[in-house]
Chains A and B, each alone.
Chain A
Amino acid sequence: MPVENGNRPASIVETEADPTPIVLIVAATLRRAERSPKLAALLEKASGNVALRSTVDPQAATIRFQRGRVRVERGVAPDTHVTIATDLNRMNDEDPPKPKVSGAAAHLRLALIAGKVLDPPTGTWQEAATDFWAHVSRHPASPTGLRIVCLDDRSELTLGATPASYEIHGTAHRLTALFSGNTVFGEELLAGHLYGVGSLQHTAELTGRSLAYMMGR
């Protein structure tokens, strides 16, 4: 049964009660996949259980594709058909480790569908940034304007009020990952993957907003 999620249109993706972060992140990723008509059709038709498991810590989620309904739960369910094991912390690296997939031989179609819906198209960093800003700028504590600088070609985008009260600089790959809800701003900043120019207050707010965006909240 489609589930209403705030102001979003009905989604067929639902989560367990009291979900874990990885459950929320997977569900948010699947809901982003629903925006693509092709992927939405795949989600609608899929059947079977797929687990996504971290290779470096206990984080895991099971996706139950139930022909018109998708439910995400914590852990690796015992009735899982396909398991994808990967280092969740490095999935957005420029050269991410290859996931280890088990069960694909017996459930090839399910594995292929899972691979597609768990990696929905992101568009350009500018498109992703515009969507991200629509989410961020609703919050009064956020910067009033955001200037984004792509270090690959020095292209820029300013969103909101000018002059922007905060700036984010990074490669197109890292900017796209952040603005698509795949990474957390503060972590990217600490890792040196992105740069920020502005107050700690705005750094914290953008980190919180990117976390919420990642978890579909």
Chain B
Amino acid sequence: MDIAAVPAWLNEHGIRWVKTEGVSPDGLVVGKHLSRAKFEHALPLGNAITDLALGYDVGGTPYLAWWDAWRADALGDIHQRPDLNTLVVAPDRPGTANVLCDFVDREGVPIPSCPRGVLTHVVDQLTALGFAAKAAFEIEAMIFTDSLGPARRRHFRGLDPMSTGVPIGYLHHNSRQQLAFVDEVLMRLEGIGIPVEGWHDEAAPAQFEINLDPADPLTACDHVVRAKQVMREVAMDQGHVVTFMAKPSEEYGNGLHVHHSLTRDGEPVFYAADGTMSDTTRHWLGGLMRSAGAATSFFCPNINSYRRMVGFAAAPTVASWGEDNKSAALRVLSESPKAARIEYRVAGGDANPYLVLAVALASGIAGLGAFAQLPDPITVSGWGLPPEGYPHLPSSITRAADALEADRGLASVMGEDFVRFWINTRRWEWLMFHTSGGDPTATAVTDWELDRYFELI
């Protein structure tokens, strides 16, 4: 939408308030509620907001162990530049509009730590190479009948799942129990133009999965952010709690699988027409394999994320690929021109979708540039494999940060400043866990993790 068209759109929908929505590196949606007049006055740069919006950890402690070049010497403001193409009427609040924003400085220059900006930067490089991408996410979450206040007071333990406690997926007995919640979610998503392919009960108690339609990369991620936000809001409105935490209990965890496909001149790149993979696909996939360890830092961003990364529990544990192999990190589907795609299965439900897709695409771009060699696929189970000959994915937040630091390909595509910032934030998260009450010897999910991640991530 052009700026000139904004007043008419606001009039048409009777908008009096606009909620600005920026997404922090941890995936938290942050912004302001602006009067219509203030919103219009602030265009095109958008409203000012403290640079701390990108400078807090998920527990609310400001990062105070390094300083990013874009920050002012003392506290300063940055801006939330609205992407006017994302203006929608709030599905539950007539008279209010929501708009997604990028974080920019006073000159309108993108802030390197803005996840939406990082994805845009990566997609621009992909476009320059002559490719177009599409992506689709599978959002897993868990819904409990308890309301938020009591759940908080119990540190999110002992909650009642909105399903049986039997770990079987696809049970309509369970989906019937979740219907009132999901129906409201689907209605609101439809209202803000987010198409859904389908949904179903998933394997863990309380768990369900919503599959969004494929879209261009930025739109696909915008839809994930908004869908998660809608789920939180509906849960609150109905007196329930929902979580996207990677591993809130000892049952199956929440994933955020992402499918991506490429076209060049309208032709599907990953389609193996005669059963033979093209060189482009081999180098792209080789890049994904080469950076799989480093990319884990984005797919598994939190202390809790690594509890999900255990064998035979749905999440892949080895840097691996295979044709239609769901135990591999990368499931390749190359046999149909309409559905040729790669599914990256490592990300947890706690990952930031912009960064998940950005690192997947960046890995491929780096692979193309380096003519990355593709190792053999696995045709066996990806779980229970020995360490020799099968590179295991990092098993902790620090090891993943080390892997990212050692990877030069990703930083060159995603941005050196951003990757440095991200590594710092992950090491900070490690430090916070150990020095603010987290127990590194605990074999099960701790109160520290539940208090920090259950509600917000």
Closest to A205 in B: B67
A-B contact pairs, 25 of them (CB 8 A): A18-B398, A20-B434, A21-B434, A21-B435, A57-B435, A58-B437, A58-B438, A58-B440, A60-B441, A74-B441, A75-B440, A75-B441, A186-B64, A186-B65, A200-B67, A200-B73, A201-B67, A201-B71, A204-B63, A204-B65, A204-B66, A207-B64, A207-B65, A208-B65, A211-B65
Q: Given that A141-B67, A186-B64, A200-B67 are known contacts, is A211 also in contact with B434, CB under 8 Å in the complex?
A: no
Chain B residues in 8 Å Cβ range of A204: 63-67
Nearest CB on B from A113, distance (A): 26
Q: Which of B73, B437, B440 contacts A199 (CB 8 A)?
A: B73
Is the C-beta of B439 less than 8 angstroms from some C-beta in chain A?
yes
Q: 8 closest A-B pairs (Cβ-Cβ)?
A: A208-B65, A58-B439, A201-B67, A199-B73, A204-B67, A186-B64, A75-B441, A21-B434
- A55 located at the interface, meaning its Cβ lies under 8 Å from any Cβ of chain B in the complex: no
Contact of A20 among B75, B437, B440 (CB under 8 A): B440
Closest CB in chain B relative to A92 CB, distance in Å: 15
Contact assessment for B67 and A21 in the assembled complex, using a CB-CB cutoff below 8 Å: no
Decide yes or no whether A59 CB sits under 8 A from chain B: yes
Size band of the interface chain A makes with B:
20 to 34
Assess A199 versus B74: contact at CB under 8 Å? Given A18-B399, A20-B440, A204-B67: yes
Classify chain B's interface size. 20 to 34
Q: Considering the complex, give the chain A residue whose CB is closest to the CB of B71.
A: A201
Per DSSP, chain B at the interface is: loop
| Distance in angstroms between the alpha carbons of A96 and B139 in the assembled complex | 50
Question: In the bound complex, how far is the Cα of B165 from the Cα of A74, in angstroms?
Answer: 35
If over half of A's interface residues share one DSSP class (helix, strand or loop), that class is named, otherwise mixed; here it is helix
B434 touches A22 (CB 8 A): yes
Interface flags, B62-86, vs A, CB<8A=1, else 0: 0111110001011100000000000
- Chain A residues with CB under 8 A of B436: 57
**A20–B64 CA distance with the chains assembled, in angstroms:** 20
The answer, yes or no, to whether A203 is at the interface (CB within 8 Å) is yes
- CB neighbours (8 Å) of A208 from chain B are 65-66
A136 to B87, CA, bound (A): 48
Task: Closest A residue to B396 by CB, please name it.
Answer: A18
Kindly state the separation between the CA atoms of A59 and B435 in the bound complex, as whole angstroms.
7
- What is the bound-complex CA distance between A22 and B436, given in angstroms? 12
Cβ contacts under 8 Å, A20 to chain B: 434, 440
B431 interface residue per 8 A CB criterion? yes
Cα–Cα, bound, A74→B67 (Å): 30
A residues 184-203 near B (Cβ < 8 Å) are: 186, 199-203
CB-based nearest A residue for B74: A200
Residues on the B chain within 8 Å of A203, using CB: 64
The docked-state distance in angstroms from the alpha carbon of A79 to that of B314 is: 37
Distance of B351 from chain A, by nearest CB (Å): 21
* Cα-based distance from A23 to B326 in the complex (angstroms): 38
B contact residues around A60 at 8 Å (CB): 441
A75 contacts which chain B residues (CB < 8 A)?
440-441
Using CB atoms, name the residue of chain B closest to A209: B65
A59 surroundings in chain B (CB, below 8 A): 434-435
Distance to closest chain A CB from B275 (angstroms): 42
Query: How distant is B434 from chain A, measured CB to nearest CB, in Å?
Result: 5
> Which of B65, B430, B438, B441: most chain A CB closer than 10 A?
B65
Please name all residues of chain B whose beta carbon is closer than 8 Å to the beta carbon of A74 when the two chains form the complex: 440-441
* Residues of chain A within 8 A of B430, CB atoms compared: 21
A51 → B minimal CB distance (Å): 12
Task: List the B residue with the shortest CB-CB distance to A204.
Answer: B67
Q: Which residues of A contact B64 (CB under 8 A)?
A: 186, 203-204, 207
Q: State the CA gap A211–B66 with chains docked (Å).
A: 11
Of residues 142 through 172 on chain B, the ones whose CB sits less than 8 Å from some CB of chain A are none
Expressed in whole angstroms, the minimum distance between the Cβ of A216 and any Cβ of chain B is 14
The complex places the Cα of A23 from the Cα of B438 at a distance, in Å, of: 15
